[in-house]
Amino acid sequence: MPAGNTYVAIATQTLGSAAASVTFSSIPSTYTDLVLVVSAQNTSSLNNGQITFNGDTSTNYSGTYLQGNSSNPSSGRVTNTSNAYTMEFTSTGLSPLITNIMNYSNTTTFKTLLQRGGSASDRTAAWVNLWRSTSAITSLSIATFGGNFATNSTFSLYGIASA
């Protein structure tokens, strides 16, 4: 049985010039989950990305990751950080990132992010992050720890319609 139109486009931004961050604001609370799809390049060297919700840069984020390429696997954990880490963005080509944000408008639970991506440096990564806040997500920003997102990087936010 077909699922129907469950992904609803909320907004897409394609950079006409390099930018330090991209923000989606006034996110409607009418969906069950959000999906952020990124295809971005960094203007600097290899740098992880970072996502913040509702402008919250206090130490309410934590995450666990698995990443690697054919010769250098790694895993780890970050706690009490000021943002949700993402995989790396490189200066050598576009890196894809898909982030699922569950129960984003629920005001009784913390928010969980599942991320999958790969970089132009032949690295694959999976992250799970937690934002320890019961606030509904009304805005999100994505940036890198160094450099800027390059011209033609694309950022799309989708809402998942309830079944």
Q: What is the pLDDT of residues 40-55, one digit of tens each?
A: 999 987 778 899 999 9
What are the structural domains, with CATH classification, of the chain?
A: 15-58+67-160 (2.60.120)
- Judge whether 153 and 94 are in contact, CB under 8 Å: yes
pLDDT digit string, tens, across residues 110-155? 999 999 988 766 778 899 999 999 999 999 999 988 889 999 999 9
**pTM (whole model) above 0.85:** yes
Long-range contacts of 108-111 (CB under 8 A, 24+ apart): 108/134, 109/134, 110/134, 111/53, 111/137
Q: Provide the token pair at 86.
A: 């993402």
Q: Which residue has the higher pLDDT, 133 or 88?
A: 133
CA distance 93 to 151: 11
- Judge whether 89 and 41 are in contact, CB under 8 Å: yes
**Percent of the chain residues past pLDDT 90, beyond the cut:** 70
| Number of residues in the chain | 163
